[in-house]
């Protein structure tokens, strides 16, 4: 059964709404912090929740290696394991098999790979991806298994890959079935080719999913190619179901994608940048290590409710970063998530008010895409 | 002016009381978490406070290198810089000059040393130690500059060293003067020699301090030699002033020192152990990485109020530690501080109830000294 998706307002192609799951309402456009291995890195679930996150993302690849699906099943699933009672979406594992693991072997049946931790061998098929995500992890939103070719792979390889992903999507749909409390999303592939994206979308629509993701972007093709793909692809996705742009992105990427009708996002950027001493602001990222912050008594952003954003001087954060203190990583990760969530709230408000173009223009001016 | 020290109850040589500072009351026996470089490692000040800490310790050595006394002065002192409005005690810097820095040169005047960070040259004299601690940092309790010889140094070297430390103590007293809102503690040295400890104590008493620390212990001499020194030294310290055992220690060390009349402690153990995957319990430390915790759904200690102690399963903490997740370091540091603070509360309650010997016997049985 699909999670009910209620669109509250539209502004051009953009929409704001509510995706209603048994574990809670997801306000869209939504940003999902990435909880790679059962933890949004450096933060407690209370801190993540306090930033305004309605849903987090878990990485199937990491969780199937540690703690492993059998152990997760015995421990009652991921929500209970990590103490996050709100919605969780899991990726399919496919992307990280391609980006992290060694010795991959791809067949029609699925993919065999070796763990980047200990070299142990694992198999991921569409059926196993469903069993792990839906049963062992217990995700509220489950992603089909897909293959992710390089963005600049030969056109014919991209075409064959999207057809394999579509066949895998069919098998995922069959294995997943219809569930009372969980939804299954398909993933549109097709690289930078508008006609292949359309073919992929049509194949997925024939199968029928509870939501549609755009995959294979933010993998090196660049901001403008990504927007071109969105502009040509999103109109072919059903308006009444949520649309999710996987692995994106910087604030300006998110703003432009929302303008084009995307509802959901995930990205490691805010937490990764935080661990590396960067704080996001309306004028882009700042590097706290820089000497100019050594005696700057202003907070990162006093307009945010987040204690990390308003309760510490830049001078103190500079000191923590320079001394490689864990607290610096915690506070900057926390602030960055709060900043991204505040961005989503501003986007939702702007769509409801019909002022999205003005907000987008401000971001294009202050945070131009590189 | 001395901070008023009110003894509420005694049980044998042990006492429980209140050391009253303008920034707050310190309940004794007290454990001071170590905030080395302006942060109790991995934790926010709110988390530290919530464990029950009345006072934290700052390391003068680290703070004089980064952010440096001039910058700290411009930033309004350490309380404001790190956002901890409660009492702070600073060590003199002497111990870490000896243990961390390179190329030390000791004279009657003071000590010249090179930073372990960047090799820059610095001078610490008794007068400068006072200026940094009392004025730049703004500590509520300031420690005299002392020299810390090796515990097994030749007796004559230890004797000469304690006399140098006493002369430095005299100069600290002169420079510090009498202050409305801050107190100055002397440090008893003398190694493992009872007569030298007595000589050191007598020299400090002639100068007159607001409290008396026992230094030069927990530096390799072992549990039993340490207790022998306390048993012979503490009776010579004035009953009406607080007594502070520097750098100690494990719970059993703290219990035995309280039995012998010590009022204050500091140690990096709880936070350092937490960063290395260890959690302290009434039965000693446990190593969360061990496989036996992989599916243990019990919390670390449900009897503690601390969220880290009661809100996460050992299985989840095991997973975090195995994956080198920052959250594991945060939660274990937090729990350990909560455990140490609960130990202090139990000691205070036992002294008030006249049942300290029973509590001590339980610790001797369950956490025997190594």
pLDDT in tens, chain B (370 residues): 589 999 999 999 999 999 999 999 999 999 999 999 999 999 999 999 999 999 999 999 999 999 999 999 999 999 999 999 999 999 988 888 888 877 789 999 999 999 888 889 999 999 999 999 999 999 999 999 999 999 999 999 999 999 999 999 999 999 999 999 999 999 999 999 999 999 999 999 999 999 999 999 999 999 999 999 999 999 999 999 999 999 999 999 999 999 999 999 999 999 999 999 999 999 999 999 999 999 999 999 999 999 999 999 999 999 999 999 999 999 999 999 999 999 999 999 999 999 999 999 999 999 999 7
CB B335 within 8 A of CB B301: yes
User: Average pLDDT, stretch A21-27?
Assistant: 98
In the numeric block, which tokens belong to residue A166? 């579509």
Q: How many CB atoms lie within 10 A of CB B100?
A: 15
In the numeric block, which tokens belong to residue A232? 């040509």
When CB atoms are compared, the residue of B81, B83, B327 closest to A311 is B83
CB contacts, 8 Å: A67 with chain B: 294, 315, 319
Task: Find the closest chain B residue to A316 by CA distance.
Answer: B81
Tell me if A46 and B307 make a contact (CB, 8 A cut-off): yes
Judge if ipTM > 0.90: yes
Among B366, B10, B13, B19, which Cα is nearest to B183's?
Answer: B19
Tell me if B295 and A71 make a contact (CB, 8 A cut-off): yes
**How open is the CA angle A247-A366-A272, to the nearest 5 degrees?**
35
Helix (H, G, I), strand (E, B) or coil at A68: coil
CB B88 within 8 A of CB B21: no
Residues 6+ apart with CB under 8 A from A331: A274, A308, A312, A317, A320, B44
- Number of helical H runs and strand E runs in chain A: 15, 16
CB contacts, 8 Å: B325 with chain A: 37, 39, 41
When CB atoms are compared, the residue of B44, B71, B319 closest to A295 is B71
Give this prediction's pTM.
0.97
CB contacts, 8 Å: A42 with chain B: 326-327, 330
Tell me if B327 and A39 make a contact (CB, 8 A cut-off): yes
Alpha-carbon distance of A227 to A261, in angstroms, equals 11
When CB atoms are compared, the residue of B43, B74, B316 closest to A327 is B43
Alpha-carbon distance of B237 to B188, in angstroms, equals 9
Tell me if A313 and B42 make a contact (CB, 8 A cut-off): no
Q: What is the pLDDT of residue A117?
A: 85
Q: Which of A210, A263, A266, A301 is catalytic?
A: A266
pLDDT digits over A197-238, tens only? 999 999 999 999 999 999 999 999 999 999 999 999 999 999
Task: Find the closest chain A residue to B319 by CA distance.
Answer: A67
As annotated, the active-site residues of B are 91, 266
Tell me if A82 and B316 make a contact (CB, 8 A cut-off): yes
Smallest CA–CA distance, residue A109 to chain B, in Å, is 30
Q: What is the pLDDT of residue A101?
A: 73
pLDDT digits over A104-123, tens only? 899 999 999 998 888 899 99
Among A158, A154, A131, A339, which Cα is nearest to A251's?
Answer: A339
Packing angle, helices A251-259 and A326-353, rounded to 10: 20
pLDDT digits over B239-269, tens only? 999 999 999 999 999 999 999 999 999 999 9
CB contacts, 8 Å: B313 with chain A: 75, 81
Q: How many CB atoms lie within 10 A of CB A207?
A: 17
Task: Find the closest chain B residue to A37 by CA distance.
Answer: B323
User: Average pLDDT, stretch A283-304?
Assistant: 98
Task: Give A210's DSSP letter.
Answer: S
Smallest CA–CA distance, residue A232 to chain B, in Å, is 40
């Amino acid at each position: 059964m699909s999670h009910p998706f209620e669109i509250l307002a539209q502004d051009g192609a953009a929409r704001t709404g509510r995706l209603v799951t048994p574990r809670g309402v997801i306000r869209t456009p939504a940003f999902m912090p990435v909880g790679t291995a059962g933890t949004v890195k450096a933060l407690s679930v209370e801190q993540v929740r306090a930033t305004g996150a309605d849903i987090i993302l878990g990485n199937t690849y990491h969780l199937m290696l540690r703690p492993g699906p059998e152990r997760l099943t015995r421990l009652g699933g991921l929500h209970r394991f990590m103490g996050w009672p709100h919605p969780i979406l899991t990726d399919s594992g496919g992307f990280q098999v391609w980006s992290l693991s060694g010795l991959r072997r791809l067949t029609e049946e699925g993919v065999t790979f070796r763990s980047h931790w200990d070299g142990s061998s694992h198999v991921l098929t569409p059926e196993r991806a469903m069993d792990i995500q839906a049963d062992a992890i217990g995700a509220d939103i489950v992603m089909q298994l897909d293959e992710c070719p390089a963005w600049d792979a030969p056109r014919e390889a991209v075409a064959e890959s999207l057809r394999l992903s579509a066949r895998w999507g069919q098998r995922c749909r069959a294995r997943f079935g219809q569930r009372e409390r969980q939804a299954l999303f398909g993933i549109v592939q097709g690289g930078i080719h508008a006609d292949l994206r359309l073919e992929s979308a049509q194949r997925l629509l024939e199968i029928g999913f509870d939501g549609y993701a755009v995959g294979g972007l933010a993998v090196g093709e660049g901001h403008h190619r990504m927007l071109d793909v969105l502009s040509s692809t999103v109109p072919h996705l059903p308006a009444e179901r949520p649309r999710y742009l996987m692995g994106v992105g910087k604030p300006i990427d998110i703003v432009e994608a929302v303008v084009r009708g995307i509802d959901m996002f995930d990205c490691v950027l805010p937490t990764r940048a935080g661990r590396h001493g960067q704080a996001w602001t309306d004028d882009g990222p700042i590097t706290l290590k820089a000497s100019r912050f050594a005696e700057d008594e202003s907070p990162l952003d006093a307009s945010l409710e987040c204690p990390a954003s308003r309760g510490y001087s830049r001078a103190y954060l500079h000191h923590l970063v320079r001394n490689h203190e864990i607290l610096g990583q915690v506070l900057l990760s926390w602030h960055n998530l709060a900043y991204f969530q505040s961005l989503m709230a501003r986007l939702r408000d702007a769509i409801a008010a019909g002022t999205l173009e003005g907000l987008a223009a401000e971001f294009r001016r202050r945070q131009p895409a590189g």
